[in-house]
Structure 1
Amino acid sequence: MKIKVINKGHHALPEYQTELSAGLDLRAVLSESKVLAPLERVLVPTGLYIELPQGYEAQVRPRSGLAFKHGLSVLNAPGTIDADYRGEIGVLLVNLSNEQFEVKDGERVAQLVIAKHETVEWEPVETLSDTERGAGGYGSTGKK
């Protein structure tokens, strides 16, 4: 699949790190480093603008290494980029640790996953079909 992209940043386009990777690493485009205090959040620019085909979205997801080692995550994970959005891709990064973290220019701050989706049409009804689970909610499966 080919996706049109404008790169206004000074880093190479995102790449897959391995042959079977699902996500492309997004890099921070910063004129100076940004220190994130505990529980602080910041919108990190990437310099990237994309044009997705209809029926696709781009998902901005946390990087597992940053989450595990430093407690950093993407606050609205996964962040959805719709096919009609033409603005810059930003990463809403949050520091969930008890220590400061310095986000540097070029830092791989998130992953971008391209996913196909369906558009639904609601069909109002009075009842739904029965299932074994029924209306059992959070934590209801696997219990007798």
Structure 2
Amino acid sequence: YANKDVFVKCGERAMVPLGFALELPEGWEGHLAPRSSTFKTWGIIQTNSVGVVDDTYIGDNDQWHMPVYCLQGKDIESENGEEVKGTWIRKGDKIGQFRIMEVMPEIEFEEVESFGNKDRGGFGTT
């Protein structure tokens, strides 16, 4: 949930405070993502696609935030009476969701010249 009202002008970004902090167990991390309705409702996207919060982010001022960028806004009257294109995210709006996940174990990769398999056509072919 957004922890306070935030106005984001179209073409600009903002950090939306979520009003909580977590002390995650060692070896665990949080993945913050927008809800499926976030863009349709507010015209915003999360600027880092998915936010990964590791278990060391536990300072007294380490409140979780959602970094957003406004792509679609509505005409809204500003404080000085001018029309401004943007969107309001209001305190209590459900703009994101998160999952707590175990950190992926470290793995080793082996570099090879060829896999020896049939090509499948690349991205966007299936």
Q: TM-score, normalized by length of structure 2?
A: 0.72
Offset of residue 128 of structure 1: 5.3
Offset of residue 35 of structure 1: 1.6
Deviations 1:54-87 (A, max 9, x none): 3322111112222123322211121111122212
Partner Cα distance (2:57, 2:114) in 1: 35
State the SS of the aligned residue for 1:69.
Answer: helix
Check 1:126–1:64 CA distance in 2 against 1; reply closer, same or farther (3 A cut).
closer
Offset of residue 41 of structure 1: 1.1
Counting aligned pairs with the same residue, the percent is 24
Partner Cα distance (1:80, 1:40) in 2: 22
Q: Which runs of no fewer than 5 residues in structure 1 stay unpaired?
A: 1-26
Specify which structure has the bigger relative contact order, considering alpha-carbon pairs within 8 angstroms and separated by 6 or more residues.
2
Asked if the contact 1:34/1:103 (under 8 Å) is kept, the reply is: yes
Q: Quote the residue 1:106 is aligned against.
A: 92
Partner Cα distance (1:85, 1:127) in 2: 40
State the SS of the aligned residue for 1:67.
Answer: helix
State the SS of the aligned residue for 1:108.
Answer: coil
Q: Quote the residue 2:11 is aligned against.
A: 39
State the SS of the aligned residue for 2:40.
Answer: helix
Partner Cα distance (2:113, 2:28) in 1: 31
1:1-144 pair list within 5 angstroms? 27-30=1-4, 33-86=5-58, 87-99=62-74, 100-127=86-113, 129-133=115-119, 137-139=122-124, 141-142=125-126
Check 1:119–1:59 CA distance in 2 against 1; reply closer, same or farther (3 A cut).
same
Check 1:120–1:131 CA distance in 2 against 1; reply closer, same or farther (3 A cut).
farther
Q: What count of residue pairs does the alignment treat as equivalent?
A: 112
Q: Which runs of no fewer than 5 residues in structure 2 stay unpaired?
A: 75-85
Q: Which consecutive segments of 4 or more residues in structure 1 shift more than 6 A? A: none
Write the letter of the residue equivalent to 1:88: Q
State the SS of the aligned residue for 2:26.
Answer: coil
Q: TM-score, normalized by length of structure 1?
A: 0.65
State the SS of the aligned residue for 2:38.
Answer: helix
Asked if the contact 2:35/2:95 (under 8 Å) is kept, the reply is: yes
Offset of residue 97 of structure 1: 0.7
